[in-house]
Amino acid sequence: MQHNYGKNLKSILRLLYLEIDMETKIEDLSLKLLDKLHEIEKQCFNQEAFTKQQIAYLLTDYNAIGLAARTNGEITGFIIARVDNERNTPVGHILTVDIAPSYRCKGIAQKLMLEIETIFKEKGIKESHLEVREDNVAASNLYQKLGYRKECKLDKYYGDAHGLYLKKTL
């Protein structure tokens, strides 16, 4: 009798992902969530963290799109993007993707990214870009998995740390 443990493990992992997926809902961001968003922002970033005032400004920007992930009733992450105009062409610019540390590696960031890209496409946007710290390997790997490609290195973009400029055709 031959056992196929790899296949069984894949089935279990797929079920776990679906269970997480069913528990996490995506919703529009609002200023009512500002304190929680700022709390998550500070957990995610050090010197580069947006202030509460900067998050509020981004959320009230006419061209901004903000989404929150709510898992079991709790805000567990968010994404803020903006529609920019480059050479008379609208492009999507992802400004920040924040996931509370205890909820990372559960597919939440990917779900937020895919949802924001869907919104971009609905608005006729054909290109999305973002910046990421060069040493943020987990985020870089996710973005590459989603089809983002490195365009250039951004020297000292994050204070003393370098950044990467990534782009994707939608």
Please identify which residue in the block is written with the tokens 């994050």.
Answer: 158
Which is nearest to 130 in space by CA: 138, 1, 29, 144?
A: 144
Q: Which fold has domain 25-169?
A: Aminopeptidase (3.40.630)
pLDDT of residue 162: 85
Q: What is the pLDDT of residues 148-163, one digit of tens each?
A: 999 998 888 787 888 8
What's this model's pTM, rounded to 2 decimal places?
Answer: 0.84
Which residue positions in the chain have pLDDT lower than 50?
1-5, 18-22
DSSP letter for each residue of 62-116: TTEEEEEEEETTEEEEEEEEEEEEETTEEEEEEEEEEE-GGGTTSSHHHHHHHHH
Please identify which residue in the block is written with the tokens 């079991």.
Answer: 72
